[in-house]
Structure 1
Amino acid sequence: MAWPWAWAAGWPARALPSGRTRGAASRPDCDCLPERPNIPENRTMTLLSTRRGIMQTTLAGMATAAVAPLPRAQAQGTGQKRTLKAVMHATLGVLDPYATTAYITRNHGYLVYDTLFAMDDQMRPQPQMVRDWTLSDDKLTYTFRLRPGLVFHDGAPVTAADCVASLTRWWKRDLMGTRLMNATQTLEAVDAQSFRLVLKHPYGLVLETLGKPGGPVPFILPARLVQIPEDQRITEVVGSGPFRFIAGEYRSGDRVVYEKFEGYVPRQEPASGLAGGKVVHFDRLEWLEISDVQTAASALQTGEIQVMENVSAEMMELLKRDRRVVLRPRGIGNSLLMRLNWLNAPFDNKLVRQAVLNAVSQPDYLAAQVGDDSLTQPCKAFFTCASPYATDVGAPAGQNLDRARQLLKEGGYNGEKVVILHPADLASGSALAPVTEQLLKSIGMNVQVDSMDWNSLLARRARPAPIAEGGWSIAWGIWSDLDLMSPIINLNVDGRGRRGYVGWAESAEMEKLRDAFALEPDQGKQMQLVEQMQRLAYDDVFAIPLGSYKVVSAHRDSVKDVVAHQLIVFWNMKMT
């Protein structure tokens, strides 16, 4: 299997789907918009009504074996829509696909939008909306032609102008996208079905960038939706993907509803990763937003839902005993990282940041958050232990509380409040704040934990406000390793300060190293640059890696042909 992003800069040239080869190139950065949720006022009541309804059904079904089982979604009456119900890892609060790196928004986007290219299960870019393309002999001009029959959910045909407008809005907000933008001389429509990208200099990551799976993804939207002021959010959900978003039934905190888009024409290739034919085999998809994992697992056992995106370790033990449930580890793991806010005291002080770094014990975090040693891996590599750039260079040897207390003293820490953001409704991150609270108190820090839902946390995390005005000190990154494996895409080594990723680490030296990596064709010299970057990242404490773990999905045995290598998708699935 090809390493994800292993070809990012200077890895051996390889064959593209067209038969051509490509090698190395260069790339620059993004300014991501604040992550503000679109949450209606009735969020709490609707969440409670959904959870209460499922719990009542679940408890009734468990009370006695004589009670008839709940009807499955596929066993519906004649004329009724075939509905699949799923519980995802978080509440969908941000609908603008370019405005956040949140994975729930990305997963939503893959249902309703389509992409020009997509990564298959070997992490190779494959054409998706694109029918064919050519590259000039001087490696500067790409001409893309769309496949016929592409139409948006509002009935309008997809045109090259839509693609140009979408890419122009997207690439200002994405790390890889901005690197492509900075390498581009012109991007323009040739005719209704073709558009042309002309580069300033050869750039080897064009197709990988157009097919990048991490958010923000370069989804294609109607030009009328994306040609709005830069500071405004896209609120109307219209794409050309295999599902239509049913806006009238959307209740953030309760449910998200999609229906099969009859106008979608799948590719002929088999589904692979995020590429290939997106064939939908049911009429309706409902995401039930249930933050309580036990409630969700019980609903899966009774057949009230058919898919559970993420399964915690304790729920795995329960579900393993149910022959009607299939547990499926996904091919790409996740990593946990602590983000320190460089703008606010006390973490504007490097020595205080280093104190927290020395206090951390990865095994403690993994035990509290995951709880299953068979699924976890302590990992000190900023670019993950699954990456070809894995190294322990620069990392502390292990937890050293005495050293942490000494660094606090040397840094002149004077009891400044440390505000930790706690995602109370996010099962995959709910243990991180409590562990940190106890840890920092043990070394003498003044700690306050602010609990909130995940979408509110994303919104607050994105604001560079002082502590007295609702700012924060510590927040979290829960990343797919897919988005960490190279310095080109890893936001945790972003050194652009206020223009960069939340936490706002600033280092001109880091930016020089990343630019040098992007231009370096020699693999050995690349690794030397990676080691320099990681030493700097640990010394300045850009972030604190907390370890990695495998993600497990679950579905009823009546659900077949599940594609879940990078993320769980809902095309190709069948209900028998």
Structure 2
Amino acid sequence: MLSRLKTITAGMLLAGTMLAQAGPAQAETTMKVVMHSDVKIVDPIWTTAYIVRNHGYMIYDTLFSMDEKGEIKPQMVDTYTESPDKLTYKFTLRDGLLWHDGKPVTSEDCIASIKRWSAKDPVGQKLMTFVDAITADDAKSFTVKLKSPTGLLIFGLGKPSSNVPFMMPKRVAETDPNTQISEFIGSGPFVLKQDEWKPGDKIVYTKFKDYKPRAEPASGLAGGKVAKIDRIEWLAVTDQQQAVNALLAGEIDMIEQPAFDLIPLLKDDSNIKLWNYNPLGLQYTMRFNHTQPPFDNPKVRQAVTYALNQKDFLEATVGNPEYYQVCKAMFVCGSPLASERAWTGCSSRTSRNRRNC
């Protein structure tokens, strides 16, 4: 999965969040981007669509975030404590957190946001089976009491992908989880220009000048989110050739996910930088309907798994082996939980040293 950006904007982006690490101030800038999809829904709790998740990272913030090492780090949270029995967690928010309407972020806002997120997200639903109570201690602190210890609390609050537990004002977060929100106020580094949002055309974000980033350097989705772009426009361009032509002509600044067969055109232009912001890539998944014959039989599912060849599918969908990797791990190869032993019967030594033993 690759991103493309003109060299004139190189260094201005962090992953897919349109953020950069701290650095010298820059002149007012506008960045035009073609994302992988058009934005038609702007409630990141109501849907798991990746484009809506990406939109969420533009205008909302999270209590915790995952860094480039896959570790969960505090984001809106300043400090937190864990009781010796691992049943009571106390969280204190950072100073200076503001909503886009200028009002301070409170613990009540966060509690309401956690409850709305957990009603929709599978990790959140499971987490809440361990939760006894979530209570506000004061305007900036709240306590989570568990029925029994679980590692899901901090991980869940910092999970990086859909549904992400984005924080919203209490009045917004109290919207029924099965109803889309109608007010789009966040506390993140960018503000949604709702008056300029035109589905099928573009969605516009402007820098939130009162956003207070963390002091640490940016790392993955954690650390200091320092916005260095004053205005960002996500343009809805469905034709990949048209998007690439626009990038080559300097009419746009970035394509999030260009078609594989058009990448050679971009490589040939010295003004274009190809940037892999997700080294782990994406994993194709085939899911059997195990409630219906013949796939209600585990032996049939196992036979199909042996019969299908990953490389055939990857050749058909990607084509260039430079951009794909055969991986027999249940979890993505290269990730902390990756293992091929259950699939290949390799020894632990072999599975550590070879991807496809």
Task: Please report the TM-score for the alignment, with normalisation by the length of structure 1.
Answer: 0.52
SS of residue paired to 2:287: strand
Asked if the contact 1:188/1:196 (under 8 Å) is kept, the reply is: yes
Greater Cα shift, 376-385 or 284-293: 376-385
1:311–1:392 Cα change, 3 Å: farther
Question: 2:127 maps to what in 1?
Answer: 180
Paired amino acid for 1:302: A
Identify which of 53, 60, 64 aligns with 1:113: 60
Question: 2:272 maps to what in 1?
Answer: 325
Runs of 4+ in 1 over 4 A off after TM superposition: 340-359
Question: 1:384 maps to what in 2?
Answer: 332
Does structure 1 residue 247 correspond to structure 2 residue 199? no
2-structure distance, mates of 1:352, 1:99: 36
Correspondence 1:159-558 to 2 at 5 A: 159-330=106-277, 331-341=279-289, 357=305, 360-387=308-335, 388-391=337-340, 393=342
Asked if the contact 1:150/1:264 (under 8 Å) is kept, the reply is: yes
Paired amino acid for 2:237: I
SS of residue paired to 2:219: coil
2-structure distance, mates of 1:349, 1:248: 54
Structure 2: gaps (5+ residues) = 1-7, 11-26, 349-357
Question: 1:95 maps to what in 2?
Answer: 42
Paired amino acid for 2:210: G
Paired amino acid for 2:42: L
Asked if the contact 1:150/1:157 (under 8 Å) is kept, the reply is: yes
Which digits, 9 at most, give the CA deviation of each residue in 1:461-515, with x for residues without a partner?
A: xxxxxxxxxxxxxxxxxxxxxxxxxxxxxxxxxxxxxxxxxxxxxxxxxxxxxxx
1-structure distance, mates of 2:166, 2:124: 12
2-structure distance, mates of 1:110, 1:338: 28
1:185–1:339 Cα change, 3 Å: same
Paired amino acid for 1:313: F
Deviation at 1:325, TM superposition (A): 0.8
Which digits, 9 at most, give the CA deviation of each residue in 1:309-337, with x for residues without a partner?
A: 12333222111111111111232211112
Question: 1:134 maps to what in 2?
Answer: 81
SS of residue paired to 1:187: strand
SS of residue paired to 2:286: strand
2-structure distance, mates of 1:344, 1:293: 38
1:206–1:293 Cα change, 3 Å: same
Deviation at 1:189, TM superposition (A): 0.8
2-structure distance, mates of 1:272, 1:393: 33
Which digits, 9 at most, give the CA deviation of each residue in 1:280-331, with x for residues without a partner?
A: 1121000112222222122112111111112333222111111111111232
Asked if the contact 1:73/1:83 (under 8 Å) is kept, the reply is: no
2-structure distance, mates of 1:385, 1:240: 35
Deviation at 1:376, TM superposition (A): 1.3
Asked if the contact 2:114/2:167 (under 8 Å) is kept, the reply is: yes
Deviation at 1:348, TM superposition (A): 6.7
1-structure distance, mates of 2:285, 2:9: 38
Larger relative contact order, structure 1 or 2 (CA cutoff 8 Å, min sep 6): 2
1-structure distance, mates of 2:258, 2:176: 40
1:248–1:187 Cα change, 3 Å: same
1:339–1:99 Cα change, 3 Å: farther
Correspondence 1:78-89 to 2 at 5 A: 82-89=29-36
SS of residue paired to 1:188: strand
1:148–1:85 Cα change, 3 Å: same
Does structure 1 residue 146 correspond to structure 2 residue 109? no
1:345–1:112 Cα change, 3 Å: farther
Deviation at 1:230, TM superposition (A): 3.8
Paired amino acid for 2:218: A
1-structure distance, mates of 2:143, 2:302: 48
SS of residue paired to 1:257: strand
Greater Cα shift, 187-196 or 373-382: 373-382
1:288–1:230 Cα change, 3 Å: closer
Which digits, 9 at most, give the CA deviation of each residue in 1:150-203, with x for residues without a partner?
A: 111122211100000000111122222223211111111111111001111222
Asked if the contact 1:102/1:215 (under 8 Å) is kept, the reply is: yes
1:352–1:90 Cα change, 3 Å: farther
Question: 1:24 maps to what in 2?
Answer: none
SS of residue paired to 1:244: strand
Paired amino acid for 1:225: V
Paired amino acid for 1:364: D
2-structure distance, mates of 1:142, 1:73: 42
SS of residue paired to 2:176: coil
Asked if the contact 2:45/2:177 (under 8 Å) is kept, the reply is: no
2-structure distance, mates of 1:343, 1:237: 40
SS of residue paired to 1:91: coil
Deviation at 1:392, TM superposition (A): 5.9
Asked if the contact 1:95/1:235 (under 8 Å) is kept, the reply is: no
Question: 1:17 maps to what in 2?
Answer: none
2-structure distance, mates of 1:319, 1:176: 39
